[in-house]
Amino acid sequence: MDLVFICPQDAIRVIAESVGREARRQLVGEVVRAWVDEIPEPELVGQYTRTLADLDDNDLSMLAAWHASMDVGQPLANREFLVRVFPTLGENRREALKIAAGFRGEDAFDAGVAEEQALRAVLPHLSDDSARLIADEAVQLYCWDRLGSEN
């Protein structure tokens, strides 16, 4: 029998505050990927559209290059094209959203937006099961960070 004194979402926040920058980025990335996996199907296009709205031209170009690998025709590095072909990606839609969210997250880190803000925005939307899995990963990441990584 496990004794739990803190909810997984809070454990993730505490660990994120206790590790170095690289470990924190990895942890936030895991949280975002788990969040994308849990977005209901009908909301994927809207979320993809909102995510693309915050990307710069360089990120849009890299995302268009990824789309090219999916054989969606000649991709254009603009929001309208990427949103229009998003439904044709089939099973790869979530992967496209993860990539776009990853670009958005990197831009936020580079701009100095606190990881705490990203966690505050996404953690409440995770299921308890996903949050527990990420909390387990966070503990492993904490150990990796504290036991001598080059962080």
DSSP H helices, the chain, are 8-18, 21-38, 44-53, 57-68, 79-85, 93-110, 115-122, 128-146
* 95: pLDDT strictly greater than 90: yes
129 has a pLDDT exceeding 90: yes
Region 91-109: mean pLDDT is: 80
The whole model's pTM is what? Answer: 0.78
pLDDT for the residue 73: 65
pLDDT of residue 116: 72
pLDDT in tens, 2-57: 555 678 999 998 898 888 888 888 888 899 899 999 999 999 999 999 989 888 89
Give me the residue spans of the domains in the chain.
8-146
